Amino acid sequence: MAGEMAPASAGPETRVGRYRWTVCGLLFAATAINYVDRQMIGVLKPTISAELGWSETAYADIVFWFTAAYAIGYLAFGRIVDVLGARIGYTIAFLIWTLGHTLCGFAGTALQFSMARFVLGVGESGNFPAGIKAVSEWFPARERALATGIFNAGANVGAIVTPLIVPVITVAYGWRAAFIITGIFSLGWLVAWLAFYRRPHEHPRLSAAERAHIDSDPADPVTPIGWMRLLRLRETWAFAVGKFLIDPVWWLFLFWTPDFLAKTYHLDLLGFGPPLVAIYLISDLGSVAGGWASSRLMQRGLSANVARKLTMLVCALLVTPIFFAQHADNLWLAVCIIGLATAAHQAFSCNLYTLPSDMFPRAAVGSVIGIGGTVGAIGGMFMAKFTGYVLETTGSYTPIFAVAGSVYLLAVVLIHLLSPRLARVEAR
């Protein structure tokens, strides 16, 4: 891939509207809510475990069933958003995950939590298929990595907000109220989504210049690509294998970082808020920087193949210091190491998420994202069981961090082997 070049991109944007960035803002907000709802179980783990008597394996089982539902739902929502579009697909996903999140406030056993989190997982699995579909509808190829990086940064904002507001609500009203209150307030996003989102050619506020900017890529073929053909394509598995390897590590950070900090540095519910905020602020920078880096390389004349893979390789190298997090002799050194790893993950992830729109027609993007998300969630199921077993038997995060630090380099190698040029797939 070293010598490939792409035609130089068009000059700076002039007198083109920016309504597409409003759409990106809505996706950002939805992803933030998605991650508040997802991460609350990790932040509240010490509190709920003490009250309900959860073991490490019981907590791992709750995470397992969430990821199992995520695997099932991701595949389904990939097709749903391709058929119904991002507007309706996102609405369905949001309503399901808000229901599952709110039901956690009424759970009294690990089994009931597993059931509520299963519903949550089904709904939350629709966030990225719908979001990537919306990006593919609203942005030309040269802006998609940046747009994906921005809306993906909502994950970090959600992870920042959670340890700030949830402990305060929990101390004041209890952990059950925390689930119910956040579920009710999140419904405001759905009102805004239904009011503002349409496809570009259906939107009354979109200028002709911006519509032309969005449509500046070559036209997609209209022939759809069926699932069976997608499953036979190496390009599909280039994306899916990457998701299988890296998604479990992000879920490890999300669901177990509060536990790691609490146990290693003896922090209470309110005490690990500032360290978590710092970690996810760093992650936010990584998410936007990763999208900016590959977009910038493309603007300088490199092909999408070189720009995406070079950015992912650098990110993979930046994750490796996580090997030493268990042995950091003070809290803030550990925060810096974990923050660097989560930032590198987010930068890697936003480029990985862009690969389907680089390689497939828009009509197939949601389905490919769905397949990859399902495979990634299956990897997350293995990671949940592995983490619970290691912590139950050894109490050490060292072998867990060893896995986390190595899989990104493996992912880059396999992606390149499966799709050496990120060539466009022909619909036939």
The secondary structure of 289-332 as a DSSP string is HHHHHHHHHHHTTB-HHHHHHHHHHHHHHHHGGGGGGGG-SSHH
Give the pTM: 0.78
In this structure, is residue 14 part of a structural domain?
A: no
In whole angstroms, give the CA distance from residue 343 to residue 323. 15
* Half-sphere exposure for 220 (CA within 13 Å, toward CB): 21
Name the residue range of residue 83's domain. 19-214+226-418
Q: State how many domains the chain has.
A: 1
Q: Tell me, what CATH number does 325's domain have? A: 1.20.1250.20
Mean pLDDT per 10-residue interval, the chain, length 428 residues: 40 65 92 93 90 91 93 83 88 96 94 96 91 87 81 82 92 95 94 90 81 75 75 95 96 91 87 88 86 90 94 97 92 96 94 90 80 90 94 93 97 97 80
Return the structure tokens found at 393: 């038997």
Q: Please, which residues have CB within 8 angstroms of residue 323's CB and are 6 or more apart in sequence?
A: 401, 402, 405
In this structure, is residue 279 part of a structural domain?
A: yes
Q: What is the per-residue DSSP string for 356-379?
A: HHHHS-HHHHHHHHHHHHHHHHHH
Return the structure tokens found at 186: 């999140």
The candidate with the shortest Cα–Cα distance to 42, out of 186, 183, 175, is: 175
In this structure, is residue 2 part of a structural domain?
A: no
Burial class (CB in 10 A: 0-12, 13-18, 19+), 222: exposed
Residue 365 burial (CB count, 10 A): 24
In whole angstroms, give the CA distance from residue 298 to residue 73. 34
Q: Please, which residues have CB within 8 angstroms of residue 407's CB and are 6 or more apart in sequence?
A: 245, 246, 248, 249
Q: Give residue 228's pLDDT.
A: 86
In this structure, is residue 423 part of a structural domain?
A: no
Q: How many residues does the chain have?
A: 428
Return the structure tokens found at 96: 């399901």
Q: What pairs with residue 5 in β-bridges?
A: 302
In whole angstroms, give the CA distance from residue 191 to residue 235. 37
Provide the greatest CA pair distance for the chain: 62
In this structure, is residue 424 part of a structural domain?
A: no
In whole angstroms, give the CA distance from residue 366 to residue 378. 18
In this structure, is residue 12 part of a structural domain?
A: no
In this structure, is residue 427 part of a structural domain?
A: no
In this structure, is residue 221 part of a structural domain?
A: no
How far is C-alpha 401 from the chain's CA centre?
20
